[in-house]
Structure 1
Amino acid sequence: MTTLLEPALATGSLLRLATAGSVDDGKSTLVGRLLHDLRVVMPDQLAAVERVSRERGLAAPDLALLTDGLRAEREQGITIDVAYRYFATPKRRFILADTPGHVQYTRNMVTGASTAQLAVILVDARHGVVEQTRRHAAVAALLRVPQIVLLVNKMDLVGFDKNVYAEISADFERYLERLGVDDPVSIPISALRGDNVVEPSAAMDWYQGPTLLRHLEEVPPAPDPAEQRARFPVQYVIRVGEHDYRGYAGQLVSGVLRPGDDVVVLPSNRRSTIAGIDIAGRPVNEAFAPQSVTLRLADDLDVARGELIATAGSAPEPTRELTATVCHLAERTLRAGDRVLLRHTTRTVQAIVTELVHTLDVTTLETGAGPEALHVNDIARIRLRTAEPIAADDYAVNRHTGSFVLIDPSIGDTLTAGLIGGRP
């Protein structure tokens, strides 16, 4: 018998979403409930969850175990890493990132939300909006996640009181307004019971809005990256023979390219025309984001990995001076004067941190004076100078070419994630 979510039925658009919230707000339980009620959990997975739940003396299966996949997570009962889950309905396909709630794992939330089109932020109805709720909302806003949804969870523990829900929703909306986020959606749920997750809740008949699943299915898709200006970071140069074939392989991260288009190679500002485009070894008449393609240019240019091909007339201006909002990800501190490697798309260059401008208090949204150093999970404004120019867009214009990471040059560890331009 065909199930509700047989992949062959999923013909709709893809939605990438991330869950976030404070500790014990029920993120993993929510994801487990969603997968369980959509009948996409394999029988052996469900049997394992039921067995572990019995061993813990629980009366019902702990659906959070469906997403807390690491042994340390199962043993400690917390989410540590970002757990990705893939599922589909007849209306849409989904990639869900279940991110940690503990403050020390905020950096993991940054990773999970960096590609999200929608952020689901949970709060416990008994506690309301807390500091970590605000932190995750601020991160989602800084990352310019297009849609933010508040889930007021554990409504069963407050007697399904609509006034509690209304007060929490109003508090959260006021905070988002200060972040510049308009029209947030809020839904009262009980992830443990399944109320308003997949099916409407009989216990909350005062709520007339959509269930979580219905909202996820109906929310408008994010802007098509093909509608943005064309940006093609070169990943690999393909040569066949001395002069027979030279192609530049990579992913077209935004825009559309066609044979005959005038392009510029950055940061060298050399100009050419697209002679041909190949996908899987076959020529095509156009390429659009996010396809992986090989471009052939009409001129014999020496183009290398890390350079950017963009349409002439709409290309970013190469620069060596950057101002960015960053989230510091490493235990090692970051200070003004530190020398780092800056990785932007496929290009890696040496850089120096010239100034720590200020930090952002995610609770008050006030900025503090320039700190001596950035510590793990700090959100701040910094300035950098690169040894070689890079072709970067403002993050508000293009999430791919407006972001970067800083790397420890001595051991190769990632230090900081950055968003170019804008203001925190």
Structure 2
Amino acid sequence: MADTARQAIGMLGSRAACLVMLVLTSAVIARSLEPEGRGIYFMAVTIATTATVLAHLSVEQAQSALWTDIGLRDALTGNSVPLALALGTLGGIAGTVCVAAVGPETLHLPGLSIVATACLGVPLGVAVNYANNIVLLRGRSHVVAWANLARALVQCGVLLALAAAGGLTPLSVVWVWVASESVPLLVFIIMGGTMAGRPNLGLARTTVMTGARYHPGPTAAFLLLYVDVFLLGTYTSAEEVGIYTLAATFVAYGRFLIDVLSQVMLNRQFESSQDESVHVTVRITRFAILLAVGSALVLVLSAPVMVTAVYGAAFADAVPLVALLAPGVLALGASRLPSAYLLRLRRARLVVVPSLGALAVNVALSLVLIPLWGAVGCAAASSLAFLLLAVCQTWLFARATGTAARDLVPVAADLIVLRAALRRCVPGRQAAASAPPPG
């Protein structure tokens, strides 16, 4: 438990530093590019990120499912980088070809070159995805913390330098994003978090085939988060996309405490006994729900001041979008641990069906609401779909494990423990916090 607490505190400090730099870089991009330029940049990066998700074939899900077999762990680690680079290269090419086929102007892009540039980051993104999962499965979350911190430092430093020189354009920001994708992979290799060994082709085939069974689920879950960007871009303008995506980015910052908990506990969810894994999932989910509620309140109350103060008056229309998106985004974050546990059961339909259903709801609602209300309708549709998926994942976990719904509802004692754990993260206050940390 003490080791878990140290990992959580270390990762929390790293994520907090990353959050500060991400807010700074986001503000610099927003003020330099204005809503239209930010919309162009974000659309190009979203295309590349979509290609990354489609190309990784959910191999990281297969890694988690197969990790319980101790004899496979070294081979899974050695396969991760070579397999990622091969699949990612194919994904990057496919992404560029698809945009060329539909026409960049359909998505309000100035040309194909910015998409081709963004897609150079696809192989790197897939490799980071696989390596990050291996590192977490090995229980080395501090390596992930250093990797994220290094990426944020490089991205922030380069963007600030370009902004000072007056060289920020949508294309230059995309180039910086591509370059920053390589940083975590370098950190993983240098710190021994992963390795590029001689590929085990037989295991690679097994891993890909196993991942492919789960792939519709994670793909649908990703598209659930980003299909709104494509639909909004089709029906409206690059300017409105820029405002909407800034609101979504602002809301995503509220998940960083929940994500820290989820990443630190991943090792215990998959390496402990089934009973212990259920206990951990139930307990930490209660803390995640408390963090989600608190984060949502902070975001909604601070948005009227923070959005215009940090990003500029041009983004004032993002404020109501934050209030609409926050409940769904943070509820989805709170259900992350129950969702991860479902992978342990190796029953793909438990992962795939809920995500596909939520995606269908999001698309249907978006097609109705975006033409009527633009970005406001888009935010409402997405948030409702996120809430639906979060509730469904948590219900499936409870049903599969025999957990009573009331056991997932936070109580006063959870709030006391969580408060004490958060106090331990404040410099100089660790000794004063005598209550045990979460987990």
TM-score range, shorter chain: under 0.3
Larger fraction in strand: 1
**Quick one: higher RCO (CA 8 Å, sep 6+), 1 or 2?**
2
Larger fraction in helix: 2
Structure showing greater Rg:
1
